[in-house]
Amino acid sequence: MLTPEEVMQLIQSLIWLLAGVGVFIVGMNFMGDALEKSAGSGMKKMLEKISNNRFSGVGIGAGVTAIIQSSSATSVMVIGLVNAGVMTLMQATPIIMGANIGTTITGVLVALKNDYFNMIMYLLAFTGVMMGFVKKEKVKILGSLFCGLGLIFVGLEVMSSEQAFGNPLVEDMFTNIFQKINFPLLLILVGVLFTALIQSSSASTGVVITMVGANVLPLDLALFIVLGANIGTCVTALLASVGANANSKRVALIHFTFNVIGTILFTIIIWIFREPIVNLLVSIFPGNDAMSLQMRVSIFHVIFNVTTTCILLPFVKQLVKYSCLVIKDKKEENDTLSLKYVDDRLVKTPPIALMQVKKEIDYMIELVEKNISLSFLAVETGSSEHDAKIRDNEKIIDFTNSALTDFLIKLSATNMEQSDEKVIGTYFHVLNDLERIGDYAENFHEIGTEMASKKIAFSEIASKEIAAMRLKIFEMFAISKDAFENQNKTQLPSLTVLEETVDKMKKDLTASHFARLANGNCNMSASPYYSSLVSGLERVADHLVNVGYSIVNPIGSQK
């Protein structure tokens, strides 16, 4: 029976241990955010190279996870991309496998912990804090990286200190606990629950490595907990798939199945050959110092994920088929509007989210251009053939504007680079300009429909004037679209010249129109429609200049 004083000591040690875990997780988040910001363009380039090559998929998954230091975050991001229709299941599966390899880097870093290494890391943490006071954004990001890396080792030191595991009462407590649960399936369950609770297999593996280094947890038991941690990390992805489409749920299922199959295989092997495997790890890293003890666990973690990937990589098609059998497609309502490339789950990875937002805006530009073209068919021919298509496109344009605006507001609330914040500001303005052009397209269509119903037609010269102005607008569309989609600035001076030409055309056409009216050469009933078209085309030109020059001016609108 423990005395009140011993109970208090035990509580203090457990609080110390929890504080260490907390600092470790904070350090992981700091480092992950900083790496993500500093390597945002690298992540974009990697994800832009997504192909059906499964080996490159594994490389992309490992690379992205090494950058953001979280296989859970990578899985959630992949689910978002699949839900947005950017990535197929065949492309997503190898990336998920690679993510499991990328997450082992943290374990190796943790295992390198020793007194000298710790001192360097503590100094790095202090340096990182000081760098946070510098105004330069890049220096601040580097400071966050240093601070996060340092805090990881501060947390590890707190966990392995005398105040935590150095207390004999704590050692006895953990020894008794592990003696009672010295059964592989129970140990795996512990790993699953602990990782699901803190939602990070890197953090839970780090704790296990530290416990082995402190001689609190035997190596053979630690191996089973590490296996369980790999299943526990799937919880985040499974939760992220709730409310997503069938393919996104399949990604989460594949992630879960991959880790379960690997765990079952390694559980059987370790259960049967426990002693030879432990002896092999000991022979690779001999000695009883903390680093040797820790490296045994971290290397096992690497071997587990690399081996499981090598075994299951040839069976990607089978895993995809299995997921499709388990999760059936549901009939979706055709009237339900959704974004084509963007998913809310991408908010957690701003560089990737912005890449997808740009694709969505590119698609919106195409719809707006299409509607302008179709609306003028109605003006010139009086045909109502494309009425339904124009209305459907306008619905998508309005929805995209509203949904993307909401998404960008959420994204702007995240911790991101200053340059990305400016990009978001630019996108807000571009969306507004495109939505306004879409409204003008709708107005032009209404003019054409109303003129046809009233059997009003423009004179031959008036029709030619409007057609000439419309051609200038489509020249501007081509330049603005190329500038925004391909970040091409070379034709922007021509865009300005065209806009000035359109402004002049408006004045000239208005003057010639009133002259025709005065001479009785123009139908008075067509006059308001002519003026509305000319005025509307001039305003479209202004908005197109804004879209094109948005790549030069990061704050937004030009006009």
Amino acid letter at 401? Answer: N
pLDDT at 521 exceeding the cut of 80: no
pLDDT at 501 exceeding the cut of 90: yes
Instruction: With cut-offs at 50, 70 and 90, classify the pLDDT of residue 41.
Output: low
More confident residue, 555 or 96: 96
Q: Is residue 369 exposed (0-12), middle (13-18) or buried (19+ Cβ within 10 Å)?
A: buried
pLDDT of residue 103: 82
pLDDT of residue 372: 93
pLDDT at 261 exceeding the cut of 90: yes
pLDDT at 44 exceeding the cut of 70: no
Instruction: With cut-offs at 50, 70 and 90, classify the pLDDT of residue 407.
Output: very high
More confident residue, 398 or 420: 398
pLDDT of residue 51: 66
C-alpha 452: how far from its chain's center?
Answer: 48
Instruction: With cut-offs at 50, 70 and 90, classify the pLDDT of residue 167.
Output: low
Instruction: With cut-offs at 50, 70 and 90, classify the pLDDT of residue 556.
Output: very low
Assign residue 14 a region (left: φ > 0; alpha: ψ between -120 and 50; beta: otherwise): alpha
Instruction: With cut-offs at 50, 70 and 90, classify the pLDDT of residue 291.
Output: confident
pLDDT at 331 exceeding the cut of 80: no
- The CB density around residue 176, as the number of other CB atoms within 10 Å, is 10
pLDDT of residue 333: 45
Using DSSP's 3-state secondary structure scheme, residue 527 falls into helix
- The CB density around residue 271, as the number of other CB atoms within 10 Å, is 12
For residues 24-52, give the mean pLDDT: 69
pLDDT at 335 exceeding the cut of 60: no
Instruction: With cut-offs at 50, 70 and 90, classify the pLDDT of residue 42.
Output: low
Amino acid letter at 503? Answer: D
Instruction: With cut-offs at 50, 70 and 90, classify the pLDDT of residue 223.
Output: very high
More confident residue, 226 or 5: 226
pLDDT of residue 322: 92
Q: Kindly list the structural domains of the chain, giving each domain's residue range(s) and its CATH number in brackets, ordered by start.
A: 4-326 (no CATH), 344-549 (1.20.58.220)
pLDDT of residue 116: 76
Q: How far apart are CA 238 and CA 52, in angstroms?
A: 24
Direct distance between the N- and C-terminal alpha carbons of the chain, in angstroms, rounded to an integer: 79
